[in-house]
Structure 1
Amino acid sequence: MKTQLINDIDITGSTLLQLISSFSEEEFNTIPFEGSWTAGQVAEHIWKAGDCEILYGPTVAVDRVPDEKVGAIKTLFLNFGIKMTSPESIRPGEGYHPKAAALDNIRSIWDKLTTAANTLTLEEECTAFEVPGFGPFTRLEWIQFINTHTQRHIQQMQNIQAKVLRA
């Protein structure tokens, strides 16, 4: 289970970094259509949402399967037909987003995520925060949540890139 988790994290992180790298600086900061974020804003949202602090916060031992909620997380977040609204705390700022800074921030978050997956007890439940509708997550579920949430936004960023390149 741990080997697959680390492999999944690696694939998602590599895909995201390659995708961001494929944008020109101008494309990275171009709004593809009204009401949309730029790729730079999506990247900022990803690193804000991927902050690994929750993984190092208070935990409790639980008597349940540590990946019990992973299926529900994937079902919801990989349903691209659903439009979601970001919580205010992880919404990106307006304006210019330097691509190099975004790459550095994503690398940093992904290093933290990989370290957490490799070193923490994944079966413990984090108590500092709950995603509405899900209840508390184990560390394993949080890592899967961050990874799956990022996969959703990789799809969004690919759509942005397609629109920007056609413009």
Structure 2
Amino acid sequence: MSIIIKLDSILNQRGMKSNELARRIGITNANLSILKTGKAKAIRFSTLEAICDALDCEVSDIIEYRKDKENTDQNNSIMSQIHFHSDFYETIKNGNKTQTARVDEPVPELGKGEAIFDDKPSIEIRITKVTHKNFKELTIAEIKKDGFDTKEELWSVLLGFYPELEQTDHLMLIEFEAV
């Protein structure tokens, strides 16, 4: 069983950035990030109500329950889930995107993981490496792992997700491979 958080999708539909939602509902960007990535252990009804009010949506617009197709991990160990915009589905599935840059998100565990999308099936991944560096330090090889050809392309996309990001801020680079 999986609880899928679809906040990125509804934020995109509403044209609202994460930091604006965090400000409106009175939580930190870090706590909103934990919620968005599915790392939260619980959510208060008052927070859920504030999110729905701020986004003018229903609970089902931001939280979805999915039954697992099959439980392949007999130990039921926790796996890291990384939420991606649906635009990256094919490049991840085909192995052309093998890294993602994140800001203020919990560090995922190495090993078995899951790439989660709002409107596409999840993709099983293996998280192989996590490093930290600022944008200016990124090499062209790292940018290509992220599925982009130039620093300018990646910077533009990062600003879409993190509008207050500075090129000297630290990024968490998560390397993975589709399984």
Structure in which a larger fraction of residues adopt helix: 1
Bigger relative contact order (CA 8 A; separation at least 6) = 1
Provide TM-score, normalisation by structure 1. 0.24
Provide TM-score, normalisation by structure 2. 0.23
Structure in which a larger fraction of residues adopt strand: 2
